[in-house]
Amino acid sequence: MTGSEYNKPLPFNDPLTRPYWDHAKTHQLAIQICNECTDKHFPPSPVCPKCLSEKQSWTVVSGNGFLLTWGRFHRAYWDGFKSSLPYDVCVVRLEEGPLVVSNFLGTTPVGLFTGMPLRAVFEDVTTDISLVRFVKY
């Protein structure tokens, strides 16, 4: 699929989150880590929310996590999602701690429950953007 055909929202240009999207393009899930206190957090912050250090890096995580909660959209807030209705959104707690919002890849697994083990996979939605999705572990 080319960028001109993909009509769902794309990441907005933000230097703070660019490393995340660069990692995603190589199918790696990355979160921010503080060089001083090693706190891991996501989405990224200009300073460490624990110790306020500006010295921060990105670390690639395992991609393993647990389903916290989920919801099924029956309304499209963007025209690009109309053809996908209904679609599911999930909140995953990574084993490293932070929460990420994502979708299931393909068909939603049956028997969802809070705590269900999941693992990250990537889908190339445009030539530049890859989105993390989750599948049953």
Q: Considering only 32-40, 57-65, 93-101, which stretch makes contact with another protein by CB under 8 A?
A: 93-101
| Smaller CB separation from another protein, 76 or 137 | 76
58 touches another protein (CB under 8 A): no
Q: Which two tokens stand for residue 93?
A: 């707690």
Count CA atoms within 13 Å of residue 75 on its CB side. Answer: 1
Amino acid at 8: K
Binding mask 107-136 for another protein (x = CB under 8 A): ------xx----------x---x-x-----
| Smaller CB separation from another protein, 64 or 108 | 108
37 touches another protein (CB under 8 A): no
Is the separation of the CB atoms in 50 and 39 below 8 Å?
A: yes
**31 to 62, 71, 102, 113: CA distances (angstroms):** 11, 24, 14, 25
| Smaller CB separation from another protein, 64 or 126 | 126
11 touches another protein (CB under 8 A): yes
Q: Considering only 32-40, 56-64, 79-87, which stretch makes contact with another protein by CB under 8 A?
A: 79-87
DSSP string for residues in 41-62: ESS--SS-TTT--S-EEEEE--
